[in-house]
Amino acid sequence: MKHELVSAFGILTTKGCTFKRGLMIAMCVAAVATTAFAVNSIKEGLIEYIGEQRDIFKTGKADSVISLESLANRPGLFAVGPVDCLDGEITIFDSKPYVTKVRGNDLTMDHSYHYGAFFLVWTEQTKWQDVPVPTTVKGYVDLQKFVKEQAQAEGIDVTKPFPFLLSGTPVEIRWHVNVDRTDGKPITKELFAKSKQPFVTKNTPVDIVGFYAEHHAGVFLPSSNPEFMEGTGVQNAIHIHHISKTGKAAGHIDNITLGEDMVLRLPKL
């Protein structure tokens, strides 16, 4: 599913996915005039987003709603989202893209902005404050609770979405990368779940990009609670991706067991 920008008046295409011509023309023309141009996103709290995950179940498609190139050259850019056509994962850390795809038994990574996403959430944040993570914070649910508590303590309005970072060496991360296994059929929740290649990483130094939100399930948060949260009474409120510091691995975190000496980073207001 190679992406190709045909021309300033062309369209960004993938196999089975097409950027809407009018939107792409407007974006490309603006790009010629200036390197910084607006996208049709929603600003809320300390983040921006475009598209909604649940739309793919309404349309049966995972077409692009944004070209990453529209966000290029922005300082302090952090973002997460899925590549269009269920063909990979997008993680942007401090303005550097990490786009991973499954190809056979291999995982590929590209650092270019030449991709589209069927939804994306991002922030432009250059000032952060570090908060040591205590050893009592062990798992995904613990982390979600800790992020909220620390954000409140720092004066961040947790009723609105905000970004956070995490660094260190988790004991284990269970994660996935989307790979299209729909066989050309309309996307259903069952086919969406099938189109995820799972991975497990242990004792590997990582950087993590996260977004906290309490009212955006099915938008830029998973549309249903992760399996491990069933029965806890806790609603999922975070979307997190990791980037390995030692290899070509990056993707969407499904579950995590934290390690010692990890550090949470929150926006400095």
- Token output for 180: 């299209």
Residue 227: predicted pLDDT:
59
Residue 230 has pLDDT above 90, yes or no: no
**Residue that terminates a domain, selected from 67, 90, 124:** 124
Residue 27: predicted pLDDT:
40
Confidence class for position 228, pLDDT limits 50, 70, 90? low
Cα–Cα distance, 71 to 66 (Å, whole number): 9
Domain count, the chain: 2
Q: Are residues 256 and 219 in the same domain?
A: yes
**Residue that terminates a domain, selected from 124, 158, 178:** 124
Question: Which of these, 85, 140, 149, lies nearest to 252 by C-alpha position?
Answer: 140
Residue 226: predicted pLDDT:
62
Q: Are residues 136 and 65 in the same domain?
A: no
Query: What is the arrangement of strands in the sheet containing 206-212, beginning at the earlier edge strand?
Result: 128-132, 263-267, 162-168, 206-212, 238-244, 250-257, 172-178, 196-202
Query: Which value, to the nearest 10 degrees, does the dihedral of the CA atoms of residues 216, 219, 223, 225 take?
Result: -30
**In this predicted model, what pLDDT tens digit does every residue of 171-214 receive, in sequence order?**
999 999 999 999 999 999 999 999 999 999 999 999 999 999 99
Q: Are residues 73 and 153 in the same domain?
A: no
**In this predicted model, what pLDDT tens digit does every residue of 55-78 receive, in sequence order?**
999 999 999 999 999 999 999 999
Q: Are residues 20 and 68 in the same domain?
A: yes
**228 vs 206, higher pLDDT:** 206
Q: Are residues 78 and 133 in the same domain?
A: no
The SS3 assignment for 76 reads: coil
Residue 17: predicted pLDDT:
58
DSSP-derived letter for residue 56 is H
Q: Are residues 259 and 135 in the same domain?
A: yes
Q: What mean pLDDT value characterizes the chain? A: 87
Q: Would you tell me how many other CB atoms lie within 10 Å of the CB of residue 35?
A: 11
Q: Are residues 250 and 223 in the same domain?
A: yes
Confidence class for position 4, pLDDT limits 50, 70, 90? very low
Q: Are residues 135 and 223 in the same domain?
A: yes
**5 vs 42, higher pLDDT:** 42
Residue 3: predicted pLDDT:
33
Q: Are residues 213 and 120 in the same domain?
A: no
Q: Are residues 116 and 223 in the same domain?
A: no
Q: Are residues 257 and 134 in the same domain?
A: yes
CATH number (domain holding residue 190): 3.30.1330.80
Residue 29: predicted pLDDT:
34
Residue 234: predicted pLDDT:
82
CATH number (domain holding residue 73): 3.30.1330
Contact by Cβ (8 Å): 107, 249: yes
Residue 165 has pLDDT above 60, yes or no: yes
Confidence class for position 2, pLDDT limits 50, 70, 90? very low
Residue 264 has pLDDT above 50, yes or no: yes
Confidence class for position 163, pLDDT limits 50, 70, 90? very high
Residue 224: predicted pLDDT:
62
Residue 117 has pLDDT above 80, yes or no: yes
**In this predicted model, what pLDDT tens digit does every residue of 17-61 receive, in sequence order?**
544 333 433 443 343 333 334 578 999 999 999 999 999 999 999
**Residue that terminates a domain, selected from 72, 105, 124:** 124
Domain assignment of residue 59, given as a range: 4-124
Q: Are residues 119 and 150 in the same domain?
A: no
**In this predicted model, what pLDDT tens digit does every residue of 134-148 receive, in sequence order?**
999 999 999 999 999
